[in-house]
Amino acid sequence: MMTLEELAKKTTELFSLPNVYLLVRDVVQDPDSSMNDLTDVLQNDPGLIARLLRIANSSFFGFPARVETLSRAVNLIGQQQIHDLVLATSITRAFKGMSNDVMNMGIFWSASVERAISSRLLANHCNVLDSERIFVEGLLLDIGHLALYQSAPDEAQQALHMSREQSKPLYQMERELIGFDYAELGFMLAQNWSLPMSLQSVIRYHNEPAKAEGFQLEASIAHIAHVLTGAYSNEQILNECESRVAPIAWQMANLTPESCLMIKGQAVAGVAEVVELLLPRGKVA
């Protein structure tokens, strides 16, 4: 079994982010850049343009008039939000070649999208303005499991089974059996990819939001979304929320288990549309 550092390095090399995302990141981080600079970068990737236009014309944004051009989409959505959406599509594209023999990619991305939608809805409930960023954080919470199942499937499966048998949090069981957990691995991948600091912290601490110094609200939102995604009936949602959500998350987000029931229903209802936007025609593997 490889060490945490070795596994993160191998995964980073195997699943590299596309050049277009790196260029978009550079433009967004440049204080002297303009919307035209961002449009010029995106023009080189027709597939990405098509995805962005689909997203711009979906209920995800709900613009009153149809968005016909890339420049219009960029100006309506904004630089940071475009960066976040390009990052989301880049990550899904980077891992699209993973085999279903390793992990059921349809189930994985459906769960990831539900977490993302839940995070966005929770962010709106908490009056967090940049809900697209929170959406991406929710989408990528479980990214460490892709790497873990790719390189150590037997250990990952054993941890999952023992977690269920012992009713113990999965991340704690992984630490006991493997020496590290999927959140630590996801954090190192985010570091290696030079992803935003808020995203790194939320991935690392969504199971332990009290430790996310400077990003406790975002980590709390991700934490609640993570718990909601693993529950189904109303009774199970309430029980999971009451037993698994950290007290600081309720405090930071100013939510109750009852207030999460409607959010869960809305998130589930939106999964199919968003999966199609990020992974068109069901291309989840």
pLDDT (tens digit per residue) in 73-130: 999 999 999 999 999 988 888 887 677 776 788 899 999 999 999 999 999 999 887 8
pLDDT recorded at residue 218: 96
pLDDT recorded at residue 226: 96
How far lies 161's CA from each of 168, 177, 236, in Å?
10, 12, 20
Q: Is the full-model pTM beyond 0.85?
A: yes
- Mean pLDDT score across all residues of the chain: 91
CB 216 within 8 A of CB 170: no
Residue 11 has pLDDT above 50, yes or no: yes
What is d(CA 190, CA 175) in angstroms, rounded to the nearest whole number?
Answer: 19
> Which CATH fold topology does 4-16+100-282 show?
Hypothetical protein af1432 (1.10.3210)
How do residues 222-264 score in pLDDT, each as one tens digit? 999 999 998 888 899 999 898 999 999 999 999 989 889 999 9
pLDDT recorded at residue 110: 93
